[in-house]
Amino acid sequence: MDSETHEIAVRVALAKNDKSESDALISDYMPFIKSETAKFINRSPEQSDDELSIAMFAFYEAIRNYSKLRGSFLKFAALQIKNRLIDYYRREKRNMGNISLNMPDEENKNELVDTISDSRDEFSENEIREATKQEIAELSAQMEEFGVSFTDIAENSPKQRRTLEICGKAVRYARNNPQILADFLRTKRVPLAALADGSGVERKTLERHRRYLVAVLLICTNGYEIMRGHIMQVLKGGEG
């Protein structure tokens, strides 16, 4: 293994658990990512191209899933990018019958999207987006007090339906017992024992998804109306 390969392997190992390091690695290898994308789309990709975003995401996947047994990192990443782009094109193929709103109209003067009357209120939508953004920022700040980030939560989120239902049951129990939520905010610790006993679920399952529970329990507390509205399906699950 030459020194360059060894250096990449070391950086990849660090980037696996460090978000800033992974961002730095992606920035450093952006020419490589663009080159692999260009091989696939047969042109130089622009920053706004979905293909480039997919390729960057595939590179990030390669960082997460790489191990020395897989050989050279760059070869592995190139393969990952290629596979991701193929998957993306296959998915897009399903929508082939659909007409893009960005297509020019019959007179080739305007795009189709300009001819459709917009029933949406763009102004209110922007307002909602801004409010959501603000809530998310507050939530992120509060989560930092608990020592978790969105990346952690995404990694710790339940993958299986059964686990998700168990966690949902515990969250619903906490929502119906404000004292538990108050204790959670005061102690900054997830009351696993109270949740397990009260909701009748296994404590071990809750322990495994502690960081995920932090985010959802915080959303259940006051101050996150938009977020709570988004996941109302889960929160109402046990009330019907």
Distance of closest approach, residue 90 Cβ to other proteins, in angstroms: 12
User: In terms of CB distance, is 71 or 115 closer to other proteins?
Assistant: 71
Task: Check: CB of residue 205 under 8 Å from CB of residue 166.
Answer: yes
Question: Is residue 217 involved in binding other proteins (CB under 8 A)?
Answer: no
> Which residue in the set 35, 53, 72, 221 belongs to the binding site for other proteins (CB under 8 A)?
53
Question: Is residue 19 involved in binding other proteins (CB under 8 A)?
Answer: yes
Question: Is residue 35 involved in binding other proteins (CB under 8 A)?
Answer: no
Question: Is residue 215 involved in binding other proteins (CB under 8 A)?
Answer: yes
Task: Check: CB of residue 190 under 8 Å from CB of residue 213.
Answer: yes
Q: Of residues 57-76, which lie at the interface with other proteins (CB under 8 A)? A: 57-61, 63-65, 67
> Which residue in the set 112, 153, 192, 194 belongs to the binding site for other proteins (CB under 8 A)?
153
> Which residue in the set 196, 212, 214, 218 belongs to the binding site for other proteins (CB under 8 A)?
212
**The two three-digit tokens of residue 120, written as one number:** 């949406």
> Which residue in the set 80, 170, 181, 196 belongs to the binding site for other proteins (CB under 8 A)?
80
User: In terms of CB distance, is 115 or 147 closer to other proteins?
Assistant: 147
User: In terms of CB distance, is 3 or 233 closer to other proteins?
Assistant: 233
Task: Check: CB of residue 196 under 8 Å from CB of residue 202.
Answer: yes
Distance of closest approach, residue 151 Cβ to other proteins, in angstroms: 6
| Residues ≥6 apart with Cβ < 8 Å to 222 | none
Mapping DSSP to helix (H, G, I), strand (E, B) and coil, where does residue 199 land?
A: helix
Q: For residues 38 and 34, what is the distance between their CA atoms, to the nearest angstrom?
A: 6
User: In terms of CB distance, is 3 or 48 closer to other proteins?
Assistant: 48
Task: Check: CB of residue 192 under 8 Å from CB of residue 203.
Answer: yes
Question: Is residue 140 involved in binding other proteins (CB under 8 A)?
Answer: yes
User: In terms of CB distance, is 56 or 180 closer to other proteins?
Assistant: 56
| E strand spans, 165-217 | none
Say how many CA atoms lie within 13 Å of 112 toward its Cβ: 8
Distances from the Cα of 25 to the Cαs of 29, 34, 60, 110, 161, in angstroms?
A: 6, 14, 9, 41, 34
Q: Of residues 162-191, which lie at the interface with other proteins (CB under 8 A)? A: 164, 168, 171
